[in-house]
Amino acid sequence: MVYLRRFRFKVEYDGGNYSGWQVQDNAPTVQGEIEKALREFNDGKLIRIHGSGRTDTGVHAFGQVAHFDFDTELQPIVFEKAINAKTPVDIFVYDCEEVDSGFHSRFGAKKRTYIYQITTKYSPMMRNYHWHVKWDIDFDLLQKCAKLIEGEHNFESFCRTADQADSKVCFIYNSTWKKDGNLLTYRVAGTRFLHSMVRMLVGTMMEVARGKLSIEKFKELLNTIQIDESRYTAPAQGLFLAKVEYKNET
């Protein structure tokens, strides 16, 4: 008799070498590398893992969450150690545990938090994890744009046209910028995020802050569906999936 146990784990990764999280046929992905490591437990056959959501090519994560089902008597720590031994050094699995079969890493998530990092001073050490901008930035305008994002909106103006989500409505719990010397950090938490949504929001906010776009136009994009060239997509390397929170968890 097959008795499937469900295992949940978190993943930290540097996305620079991967074509995103989701497995693809002809490109390296984070999901693909972890599934490759798990094959040794299943006679070379696939054990499918399910992530809390996709991250785009080049995007990083501190706290991606995933789960898989497997008929085994092994303890979670065995999977954790084996995955880390078999995956490249830019992927690290931690906090592996057995969970109830009702848990789902994607559909059970109630809040996802992303951060985006910008530097106004070039550094070769930061180039893979920050967007270097050369413009004069009005920080107050950035913060005003961020606060406009909070609440419920249809974000169709801020996602890739290929996004197949049935609804483009998302609720944003908080959206704020922090400035520390040459570093700017944007933190946003919401129920869900569409394809490239955070990068488009950051890029378009920066267009306002550098004087290339009015804040009135930004409001218009938030309140009406417009797919036009006033949107700007920030580079992938500054974006991190920071945290995923679940129902009945604090």
Instruction: Give the separation between CA 18 and CA 32, rounded to whole angstroms.
Output: 10
* Helix (H) / strand (E) containing 204: helix 197-209
Say how many C-beta atoms besides its own lie within 10 A of residue 92's C-beta.
15
Instruction: Give the separation between CA 100 and CA 51, rounded to whole angstroms.
Output: 16
Q: Which two tokens stand for residue 79?
A: 């999977």
Q: Which two tokens stand for residue 146?
A: 């961020």
- Which residues share a beta bridge with 11? 64, 93
Contact present, 6 and 101 (Cβ < 8 Å):
yes
Say how many C-beta atoms besides its own lie within 10 A of residue 212's C-beta.
13
Ranges of beta strands (E only) in the chain are: 5-13, 50-51, 60-70, 91-99, 109-119, 131-132, 151-154, 169-180, 183-190, 239-246
Q: In the chain, what is the straight-line distance between the N-terminal and C-terminal CA atoms, in Å? A: 36
Residues with catalytic function: 56
Longest dimension (CA), the chain: 66
Instruction: Give the separation between CA 224 and CA 92, rounded to whole angstroms.
Output: 41
